[in-house]
Structure 1
């Protein structure tokens, strides 16, 4: 007979035993396997965390890839009056738009309007950031694939600039340098720069051409001219496409009533004359303060070239369309017509239907008597000309938005 009771001289090795097709692992082997799995999971989690903290880690998005047939434009200051209107026009023309704004002067309400109008993925994104923070600016450019920059972001009140000049040199000149450095570092080769007629100061001859000497007389104009000089010096050693638009006094609003001008309450005293007129017409302030009645003009008040915001953003789009590598274009953007403050106030009275009370005060520091443009160069080279040149019509459109938005974008 066979002996099945043979003694074992060595212990049985660990092994799995099959019962009905199911493997059961020895407890010691199971413990080791679980430990290895936990170790691998921990190492994977640490690697992912390190990658996310690294600048090289970018969450996949249409905003951080260059897409054929789509132009991605960074609009700095895109929550502001002019920037929001420009963003709307770009979105309407099928551009991809990223708005960067610190909301110190802009309105998140304007961004929300744009998001509601263009809710499709990949059309619009908003980034809350300050262009005075180099790390934030570099991060924005690292994580997005921009094809062009429209640089509107700037404080822009002449009176305020004389009271706080350092703010203007930081915000305009220094921040523009930071944007330019980021563009160069990340290969963004098209810049549309929002400049101003204030860089000309008070020229001896009218109208102002692009060759008129730039002799600014207030910190706002000086800061803008410094920024222009930086851009022009940089352009000499690069193939960047650059357009500098020097525009005049902006009025009006979106004809369909979606966007308008809504300055911060604490900045009303520094704001545009149109905003002050509307505030007086709505009774927010008791009267309109006209500063300066002894200028050497036909009625003693300042003469300005008032351009509708829709015409202005059209000029920016045409500049973008015509920007060419290694080329710099400099253009005045105005109507070519000078209107006095008194004439403007009369047009505003008719537009609002309110007999606005006026208080005449001494001149405002940093102001100049007469400024209006010769826009023939931009017409000749970019085929642009102002379409909305009736002052009262532009003010009526803006007044329509103001009446429905007494608290700006806070109510409707």
Structure 2
């Protein structure tokens, strides 16, 4: 019995070893064989359809751009690492446009050259709208290297990938921060660019990279330098929902809404002795709906081998005090305001001359009433107490 049992065990062991060996061979051959290629609408150019890569498309401005592009029948790919964007915004967009071939989301970091190249290799892009960037002046001063990596280095990788994969149109999201402290107002596209913080410097470096490359290629480039963005989708589908830890870095509209909701005790206005009508800083506030309209018009007017540079603003300034009064009316809350001394580096007036974009792209800001824009944004804030989470 012992001999028979031992022989059975030996045969069983040999069968296990043989089965394991065969399995290993199949795994090896499977790994060596090429992966099946799945043809999708995103990987093929289609006559009559423009496929736009929107970097940072889960963010505040980027998501509004995606919404408008989809409405206008563009095919859209969002690439975002969600460090500042909201997956909730992406889900809203996917729900609005669920048809195959309309919208796809790719989670990726634009600082990863291999990932960027893979994205361009697997998709047939006709144009790129490059929004993705960290964008807080104060944070850029505290973390300059992060800003140069995130803005300048990442833009270089995008342009390199576009060149390698023959993508011929770039709409670049820039900023009035590249102008620094201009000697006179309003700011035109010819105003000297002398940025005073890492955010503005990183954006200007990106512009320089794009413009230098354009001289050696037939890429069509549009650079949009915009001013202080406010508002949200008039139909209430999208809004601004910064991460809680970034509230102090955000826009004055966000601070006003936080004060109206009681998240913070009130507003702090720095500087009441500037040479302006009421002593507070004057800024040019552009509604996000108008801003995105400028991007879509820029895309339509982009020409091979040409670079267009445009300021996107209303052409008029509003003081901080005027802004706060408009916010009080929009929210119906008598927001508490503390007036403090000036903040180093702030300048009295910044507003645009939008004549060039008016004349060349037939674009004019339509949402120029502060209270109206803030009322639309406040409605979304009130209905989304926890941002896209409810």
TM (normalized to structure 2)? 0.92
1:387 equivalent in structure 2? 366
Are 2:77 and 1:98 equivalent residues in the alignment?
yes
1:300-315 to structure 2, matched below 5 A, reads 300-315=279-294
C-alpha separation between the residues in 2 aligned to 1:79 and 1:218? 26
| Equivalent of 1:254 in 233, 241, 246 | 233
| Equivalent of 2:156 in 170, 177, 184 | 177
- Quote the offset at 1:295 in angstroms: 2.7
SS at match of 2:350: coil
1:142-221 to structure 2, matched below 5 A, reads 142-221=121-200
1:4 equivalent in structure 2? none
Are 2:248 and 1:269 equivalent residues in the alignment?
yes
| Equivalent of 1:354 in 313, 323, 333 | 333
Higher gyration radius (CA): 1
2:375 equivalent in structure 1? 396
1:291 equivalent in structure 2? 270
C-alpha separation between the residues in 1 aligned to 2:265 and 2:169? 46
Q: Judge which range, 59-68 or 288-297, deviates more.
A: 288-297
C-alpha separation between the residues in 1 aligned to 2:327 and 2:75? 36
Residues 1:162 and 1:362: Cα distance change in structure 2 (over 3 Å):
farther
| Equivalent of 1:77 in 31, 56, 72 | 56
- Quote the offset at 1:160 in angstroms: 1.2
- Quote the offset at 1:49 in angstroms: 5.0
SS at match of 2:174: strand
1:159 and 1:366 in contact (8 A); partners too = no
1:192 and 1:319 in contact (8 A); partners too = yes
1:132 equivalent in structure 2? 111
1:158 and 1:367 in contact (8 A); partners too = no
Pairs aligned (count): 371
1:201 and 1:368 in contact (8 A); partners too = no
C-alpha separation between the residues in 1 aligned to 2:139 and 2:234? 30
2:220 equivalent in structure 1? 241
TM (normalized to structure 1)? 0.87
| Equivalent of 1:326 in 280, 305, 313 | 305
| Equivalent of 1:230 in 200, 209, 214 | 209
Residues 1:70 and 1:263: Cα distance change in structure 2 (over 3 Å):
same
1:302 and 1:341 in contact (8 A); partners too = yes
RMSD of aligned Cα (Å): 1.9
| Equivalent of 1:51 in 18, 29, 34 | 34
1:7-46 to structure 2, matched below 5 A, reads 46=29
SS at match of 1:194: strand
Q: Is there any run of 5+ residues in structure 2 with no aligned partner, and where?
A: 1-20
1:35 equivalent in structure 2? none
Residues 1:49 and 1:369: Cα distance change in structure 2 (over 3 Å):
farther
Q: CA offsets per residue over residues 69-127 of structure 1, 9 Å max, x none? A: 11000000000000000000000000000000011110000000000000001100001
- Quote the offset at 1:369 in angstroms: 2.1
1:209 and 1:373 in contact (8 A); partners too = yes
Q: Is there any run of 5+ residues in structure 1 with no aligned partner, and where?
A: 1-37
Are 2:90 and 1:107 equivalent residues in the alignment?
no
Q: Once superposed, which parts of structure 1, at least 4 consecutive aligned residues long, lie more than 6 Å away?
A: 42-45
